[in-house]
Amino acid sequence: MYIPEAEVRGLLTYEALIPAIRQALIDYSAGRVEQPPRMILRAGNAEGHDNGWFGVMPAIAGDVMGVKTVTFYPGNAGLGLHTHMAVIELLSRATGEPLAIMDGRLITEMRTAAVSAVALAALRRPQARSLGILGSGVQARAHIQAFHEVWPEANEIRVWSRTTAHAERLAVEAGARVAAREEAAAADVVLTVTSSPSPVLEGKWLLPNALVLAIGATGDSLREIDDEAMLSSYVVAESRSCAEREAGDVRFSGAKVQAEIGEILSGAAPAPAGRIVFKSVGMAIEDLTAARLVWQALAGAPKK
């Protein structure tokens, strides 16, 4: 059975996905998930930043197994194509039977935003009201939607993008306003969702108690955040090993991952004080969790 993106969109909701991702992150940090390192092959389609990659991401958890194959082609943005595309195969853990194959592009989009929403709910200050966004693409839109589920108190969104027209379009859609990069970075919560190969966020712009959700700059040779921001913050990640292996923000700054978000959620690690950076690189368990929800929703949907 193949489940296309249009059908995934009708079955997967943030209302169901965010709590499921929360539990998956707890399970991961508690050692209840089998997830080998992501295998990444360079496509060799272009030189430098536009060189795409092909990743394979398997995981086993609970009653299911799965594997996502995903591509990231930064140059696709200039062609009017999605930069990320993916397919997920879901299997029964008990018998090994294939349950479904589904488009994974929307799942990747939504599970990434859901992870950030879980981190936001756990790490933000109670008085936080303003959100600054660096970036204006697919993930910026997905995060705004997911954040509405966990942060109804937010009353100001500032958007910056290297392309002003894109920032203006997002601002109109989200009820936000376009801001200079420094002003967006001075919000209570700062979301970085760019594909920049070099830092776009500088620590000198951040508030002392800022929460930075660093989602973009996918790859071990890319970074969105400068050394000052990384080294002046308490760094939290989905996974220590994944962030230290795959996140340029961590590798190049020399910052140490001080806790996994699953440890904080379970109480195994204390909630940090001061400035916080949450670095997300994406994990197979997140895709598996979302795919399982899609499969369950499809199984429970009325037959036409």
User: Residue 196: what pLDDT?
Assistant: 84
User: Residue 97: what pLDDT?
Assistant: 97
User: Residue 304: what pLDDT?
Assistant: 47
In one-letter notation, the amino acid at residue 231 is L
Nearest by Cα to 276 from 244, 242, 236, 248: 236
**Any bridge partners for residue 64, and if so which?**
61, 92
Chain centre to alpha carbon of residue 225: 16
Nearest by Cα to 8 from 198, 271, 291: 291
| 183 burial via Cβ count (<10 Å: 0-12, 13-18, 19+) | middle
User: Residue 195: what pLDDT?
Assistant: 82
- Residue indicated by tokens 């601002």: 171
CA dihedral defined by 222, 186, 123, 289, rounded to 10 degrees?
-40
pLDDT along the chain (304 residues), means of 10: 95 98 98 95 85 93 97 88 93 97 97 98 97 96 98 97 96 97 98 91 98 89 94 97 94 96 97 96 97 94 55
Measure the CA–CA gap between 277 and 296, rounded to whole angstroms: 34
Q: Kindly list the structural domains of the chain, giving each domain's residue range(s) and its CATH number in brackets, ordered by start.
A: 2-107+285-300 (3.30.1780.10), 124-282 (3.40.50.720)
DSSP state, 239? -
**What is the b/e burial string over 19-41, where b = at least 16 CB atoms within 10 angstroms of the residue's CB?**
ebbbbbbbbbbeeebebeebeee
Secondary structure (3-state) at 273:
coil
Secondary structure (3-state) at 96:
coil
Q: What is the pTM of this model?
A: 0.94
User: Residue 301: what pLDDT?
Assistant: 62
User: Residue 60: what pLDDT?
Assistant: 98
Measure the CA–CA gap between 230 and 254, rounded to whole angstroms: 9
User: Residue 5: what pLDDT?
Assistant: 97
**What is the b/e burial string over 221-251, where b = at least 16 CB atoms within 10 angstroms of the residue's CB?**
ebbbbbbbbbebbbbbbbbbebbbebbbbbe
State the Cα angle at 67 between 6 and 89, rounded to 5°: 45
